[in-house]
Homo-oligomer: A and B are copies of this chain.
Amino acid sequence: MSKWVKHNGIIRTQGLCGDFINFPSSTAQQTAEALEKLDGILTEARLQWKHLVAITIYIANISEENFEEMNGVYDKWVDPEGLPTRLCVEAKMGHGAGVKIRAEAL
């Protein structure tokens, strides 16, 4: 699987997740690890968080608690001066992943 692609100045990535295979991990932890991967991709692409234009967050169990955990981590990463459009939905994922992320930056 490709990590990200670039075309016409747009970076696309999806399927970013934390490590949920080796041990149970919280929504906060998996969100943090997925967003660290996104941060790495932005860096590779010589972009910053303010260049993020769209982010979709899939959570396996969107309880109020998990939703707040995710938001707490999310708010630390995004740039208030360049907030992306955002969508967050619950979705069960293969092999028990708790969080996955899709994003576009330009």
Say whether A90 contacts B93, CB under 8 Å: yes
Going nearest first, the 4 A-B pairs with the smallest beta carbon separation are: A89-B91, A90-B92, A14-B87, A5-B53
Q: Which residues on the B side are within 8 Å of A106 (C-beta)?
A: 7
Copies per complex? 3
In Å, the complex CA distance between A86 and B94 comes to 12
Scoring A residues 72 to 106 as 1 if CB is less than 8 Å from chain B, else 0, what string do you get? 00000000000111111111111100001010101
Once the chains are docked, how many angstroms separate the CA of A8 from the CA of B8?
A: 8
Q: Which of B1, B14, B84, B94 contacts A2 (CB 8 A)?
A: B84
Bound-state CA distance A4–B84 (Å) is 8
Smallest CB separation, A37 vs chain B (Å): 12
